[in-house]
Chain A
Amino acid sequence: MIDTLKRISALARLVLLDGLRRHALMGLLLLAIAAQVGALFFFDFIPRDIGRASSDFILSVAWLVGFIFLFFHGVQAMALDEERKVIYSLLARPLSRGEYVLGLFSGIAALLLLLNFILSCLGIATLLLIKHLVKPVYFSQFGMASYFLSWFGIVAMELMLLAVIMLFSGLVRGNFPVLLISLSFYAICSGLPVVREALGQQAERAKGLTGLKTMLSWMTTVFPDFDRLDFKNMIASSAPLPDLSLILVNFGLTISFVGLFLWLACLVYQRRDLQ
């Protein structure tokens, strides 16, 4: 077990260093810094709810940057190993295919965590600067706990998407099809809660929609509702944090989702024809 973990962490370290060498973070960080400087101008358009708008902006930029990282770096990682024939030299060592998938996931996740850590520090500095620049009535609340909870939410969503990308990378050859399928997966995840909400309103009036409602709720087990991990509304609000039990359920679901999808990704990759 310890040997397995050592092999996975060694590969993760390689992926992390390779990502840094390929400037995967540098460009995104510059983009994020430019966007966060933009937040200083953005809040000029907001007459009243400046705290809320600024925190929304900062968190949205972070999500966008993470999204770009996942779909333009994360998606390529596995396909690039095959294109550059790196996979053969890796698998020639005492490393199983499952360990390769887990190592790759861990490396990209480490890059994601590093990216989010830097962005969260930048974000907090920007928000405190904005808070300092405006009158307290326009930015009365800044919940540090809510802020970090929102970041955990973002990281959780990104890790879930990364696990899905790992599975599709094993199933499909080439990074472009993986990108398209992963984007479609995300689109369904965004659309499903909206459809469920609309159907819920209709179901109150008409009784015959119970079957469809059940089907959609089962679909949510595969296509998770990311809104449940979106806590950014609470940063500039005086409302208390949600129940600890609810937070634990949400993040527990995230961990089990990531575990399940990685398990499937390992199974699929073990049967993959690498020729």
Chain B
Amino acid sequence: MSSRLPLFALLLFLYGAFFSLQEARFSASSQQLPHPVPPTIQKIALGYLKQLGGEMQFIKASVFYGGVKPGRDPLEYAEPLAQRFTAAATLHPHFIDTYFLCQAILPYVNNDYARYTNTVLAQGMTALPENFVLPFFAGFNHMYYLDEPLDAARLFHLAAKRPNAPPLLEHLANILSAEGGNIYAALIGLRGMYASEKDEQIKMRYAEEIVAFEKAVTVLEAIRRHEKTTGTPPAALNDLVPEYLPVLPEVGPIFRLEWKPPHLGVVRVAKKTSPRR
């Protein structure tokens, strides 16, 4: 027994040495998030536990993201994170935290990930038809990161129809419709909001915007007349003066006209865009 004691001590020492080496190696390397098992396989393997599996995917993603050192290139870890969010949303589409974390991390990486975020959010929008925040997030991504005002307007309209949605979503949807060139729809929507609004200050704001949109409609009609006569849209809005319009109307101070043939948009002067664009 006494002869085996040094052997046991040696074994213990070796274990301690290897353990310290392993710890040193893993703490020195940058933190990695492995790709998850495909959600379909997880769904089969987990059965009744799939919702808990979805929550575990979320926890893994959030714990990993909490440990990312500042300054690290997000593209290094964006792909496995995106897949974790897809897995979490597929396994448990009703769990709202997945969408909040996904929205907080992915769209900021680049446009591809902004689109990817919207596919994850789409799962939540189907599973939670009463939640207005998810279509708002998706609409925001279209508006801010992707510069697609019409898609953003569609999603803000959807968000506005959901219970407890603030009226500003409907308003934003109309503004973005006009920015995307759908000025008639924006005008009809704003007139409806004006008619149902009780607050006098907000009504005044709507009235200003309605006047601006009505002026934009006169420009739009002039463009249509130009197209009908010449077969092509004008190269610049000034080409409409004086034959089709006596003078180009001023839609300020809130808006300005943006002419990208063949689309006329009414863009907010104070429009904020992603610094990435």
Contacts and interface: CB of A to CB of B under 8 A. Distances in A.
A256 interface: no
Given A190-B44, A230-B48, A237-B94, A48 B55 contact: no
B90 to A, nearest CB: 10
A238 B164 CA distance: 14
Interface stretch (A7-15, A55-63, A127-135): A55-63
Nearest to A62: B48
Contacts of B31: none
Nearest to A57: B52
Interface string A221-255: 00000100010110001100000000000000000
B248 interface: no
A46 interface: yes
A56 B48 CA distance: 10
Contact of B55 (A53, A189, A230): A53
A238 B45 CA distance: 29
A48 B49 contact: no
B62 A45 contact: yes
Interface in B41-95: 43-49, 51-52, 55, 58-59, 62-63, 92, 94-95
A266 B43 CA distance: 34
Interface in A34-76: 45-49, 52-53, 56-57, 60, 63-64
Contacts of B96: 48-49, 52
B49 A63 contact: yes
B97 A56 contact: no
Contacts of A27: none
Contacts of B97: 46-49, 53
A9 to B, nearest CB: 30
A189 B44 CA distance: 9
Interface string B16-52: 0000000000000000000000001001111111011
B15 interface: no
B43 A194 contact: yes
Interface in B2-26: none
Given A47-B100, A198-B40, A190 B94 contact: no
A186 interface: yes
Contact of B92 (A45, A56, A226): A56
A52 B100 contact: no
A232 B51 CA distance: 9
Interface in B234-249: none
Nearest to B52: A60
A157 interface: yes
A232 B95 CA distance: 12
A187 interface: yes
Interface in A100-147: none
Contacts of B49: 60, 63-64
Contacts of B43: 190, 194
A259 interface: no
Contacts of B45: 190
Nearest to A67: B48
Given A56-B51, A56-B92, A190-B47, 10 more contacts: A45-B63, A46-B97, A47-B62, A48-B97, A48-B100, A53-B95, A154-B48, A190-B43, A194-B40, A194-B43
17 contacts: A46-B58, A49-B96, A53-B95, A56-B51, A60-B48, A60-B51, A63-B49, A64-B49, A186-B47, A190-B44, A190-B45, A194-B40, A194-B44, A198-B40, A226-B48, A233-B94, A238-B130
Query: Which 8 pairs, one residue from A and one from B, show the smallest C-beta to C-beta distance?
Result: A190-B47, A60-B52, A191-B44, A56-B51, A45-B59, A63-B48, A49-B96, A48-B97
